[in-house]
Amino acid sequence: MPKIDNEKFYSSAIEMYGESARGVNWASVENQRVRFAEILKLLPEELSSYTLGDAGCGFADFYRYLEKKKRRPKEYLGIDIHKDMCAIASQKSGEEILSADICRDALPVKDFYICSGALNVLTSFETQLFIRNCFNSSKVAFIFNALYSEKPIQSETYNYLTKEDIEKLAKELSISEVRYSQGYLESDITVSFFR
């Protein structure tokens, strides 16, 4: 179970790597893009009819990825707990960015919520709160990627989900359809919880 200071974890990365994929603790820009591509596959082809919340948006890189792919949503909202990231995301995207604790604060309702990477340094309990809040605030689906392991892993830094964890939570939330995507990167999984 991760036990790190979230603020320090990201602040030190921003200080060291600046406004880049490494600045939000991604291993590389390519890893970030691969994960974004998996999420995009699960979103509607015609995204311009839907509203989208990006939970743990960092620098709003997913929004800029959507722009490059010409798949902008009708409305985008980025949400992050880190105030510096929110300021940078707002400047880079020109979109609404909300500073909030996704584990605890009420979220605006959107058609879809997505999350890429933000679950990796939460505790198991925080991860459940985060997923519940995003799913309950989405009209259609919550799509997220996370670190994955077939068996439980105890890590001091990172949070790994198992399919058992995911399926248990899906049952508790009465998810009508769960979709998985794996094999695109080692120890990673993309999951969609559809209503």
**Domains, the chain, with CATH or none:** 6-194 (3.40.50.150)
Q: Please give the pLDDT value at position 1.
A: 45
Is a pLDDT exceeding 80 seen at residue 74? yes
Average pLDDT over residues 21-49: 82
pLDDT value of position 117: 86
Asked whether 23 and 88 are in contact (CB, 8 A), the reply is: no
Digit-coded pLDDT (tens) for 43-73 = 999 999 999 999 999 999 999 999 999 999 9
Which pLDDT value is given to residue 121? 83
In the predicted structure, residue 26 carries a pLDDT above the cut 70: no
Give the relative orientation of helices 83-93 and 6-17 as an angle to the nearest 10 degrees: 50
C-beta of residue 76 within 8 angstroms of C-beta of residue 97? no
H-state helical runs in 140-181: 163-172
pLDDT at 18 over 70: no
- Residue 148 pairs with which residues in a beta bridge? 161
User: Once rounded to an integer, what is the mean pLDDT over residues 94-117?
Assistant: 96
Angle at 148 (CA atoms; ends 69, 105), nearest 5 degrees: 70
Q: DSSP code of 117?
A: S
pLDDT tens for each residue of 145-161: 999 998 877 767 778 99
pLDDT of residue 175: 94
Q: Which of 4-18, 70-84, 174-188 has the lowest mean pLDDT?
A: 4-18
Q: Taking the model in full, what pTM does it have?
A: 0.86
> What is the average pLDDT score of the chain?
88
